[in-house]
Amino acid sequence: MKTLVCFIMFFFAGLVYGQNDTTTYKPKDDLSLSGFPVVFFLPETSLSFGAAGILVFNAGKKKAWRKSQISLGFAYTLKNQILNFVPYELYFKQNWKLNGEVGYYRYFFNYYGIGSDTQEENLES
């Protein structure tokens, strides 16, 4: 009986489907673009609204060890503040990584000092 079961399993093993061959590079399949609305409220900004997007792709002609991404964001606040930013992470074939951010901010950050017992009169913008 065991021999018959082994024979049937061996015979039908070729009919089992697995993953597709992913060695073929198709640049069109490796590009993804998404966009999102952005709305938030902070005491420093009041109501803020804008948009954000992300582009995911493979940098170079051959697939890298990880997909690269470039994000884009814009926000305007009711306190007349502007935030524009483009953070990026680029991954290349030889395990090279390049990341950073380019941006323009007309925005202030409140700083009260270090620690949890800081006073409100220590406010710096």
Is 11 inside a domain boundary?
no
Q: Which two tokens stand for residue 106?
A: 């007309």
* Rounded Cα–Cα distance for residues 102 and 76 (Å): 17
pLDDT at 30: 73
Is 28 inside a domain boundary?
yes
pLDDT at 47: 95
Q: Are 48 and 39 in contact (CB under 8 A)?
A: yes
Is 10 inside a domain boundary?
no
pLDDT at 24: 52
Is 1 inside a domain boundary?
no
* Rounded Cα–Cα distance for residues 71 and 89 (Å): 9
Total number of domains constituting the chain: 1
* Rounded Cα–Cα distance for residues 117 and 122 (Å): 11
The whole-number mean pLDDT for each consecutive block of 10 residues of the chain, a chain of 125 residues, reads 46 48 55 92 90 88 80 95 94 85 86 81 75
Is 14 inside a domain boundary?
no
Number of H helices, E strands in the chain: 1, 5
Length of the chain: 125
Q: Are 50 and 38 in contact (CB under 8 A)?
A: yes
Is 89 inside a domain boundary?
yes
pLDDT at 103: 94
Is 12 inside a domain boundary?
no
Q: Are 59 and 93 in contact (CB under 8 A)?
A: no
Phi, psi of 64 (to 5 degrees): -90, 175
Residue 28 structural domain:
22-122
Is 53 inside a domain boundary?
yes
